[in-house]
Amino acid sequence: MMKPYTYFIFMLSCSLIISLLVAAEAQNGPIAVENWFSKLPNAKEKLTKLHFYFHDIVSGKKPTAVPVARANSTFASPTYFGLVSVIDNPLTAGPRPKSQIVGRAQGITGYSSFKELSLLMTLNLVFTSGEYNGSTLTVVGYNPFTQQYREMPIVGGSGVFRLARGLATAQTAKFNRRTGNAVVEYNVMVLHY
């Protein structure tokens, strides 16, 4: 049996440890996320506009878009049907490859049409600078990349972009026929809290 005084000290230490643990819990821990959701009924949705360039580097010493699978019939197909790549493409503030990196587009793309050159895009836009550092947006969409504008849904997000929805409009800014490398301009309109 503990003496009342020892018991008091014991309980005090326990509550101190618990409050320290709660305070130490990261902003993206389960308690913080639950808190965030509990405040949602009073939260106001806002619109954020993002603009950046996506560098699809398929050749050279350090390609960032790498084919990983194909069907036997892929290279007999005029539309490369069945060719799947994994990408980790840099996103930059300006159109030049050396301009400031603001994030990465990480995901899987696959040629998914028999009739035209088009890709299924499944991407996480992982931001690494400024107020969006550590936040992500998820894009799942249809990308007929020979067309001028391609509209792809933003289906969700994390961090600053929790419960995001919106649209990404992609437009090829530069395409090098010899290397296959492309620079694509992205305009993103996203609703979030």
Ligand X SMILES: *[C@@H]1O[C@H](CO)[C@@H](O)[C@H](O)[C@H]1NC(C)=O
Binding site for ligand X (CB under 6 A): 72, 128-129, 133-134
Write down the least CB distance from residue 124 to ligand X, Å: 16
Total residue count of the chain as it appears in this document: 193
Write down the least CB distance from residue 133 to ligand X, Å: 4
CA angle 92, 94, 98 (to 5 degrees): 65
Nearer to ligand X, 59 or 133 (CB): 133
Nearer to ligand X, 103 or 107 (CB): 103
Write down the least CB distance from residue 129 to ligand X, Å: 4
Nearer to ligand X, 129 or 176 (CB): 129
Return d(Cα 5, Cα 82) in angstroms, integer: 72
CA 179 to chain centre: 26
CA angle 108, 131, 104 (to 5 degrees): 20
Nearer to ligand X, 77 or 122 (CB): 77
Given phi > 0 = left and psi -120 to 50 = alpha, else beta, which region is 80? left
Write down the least CB distance from residue 118 to ligand X, Å: 23
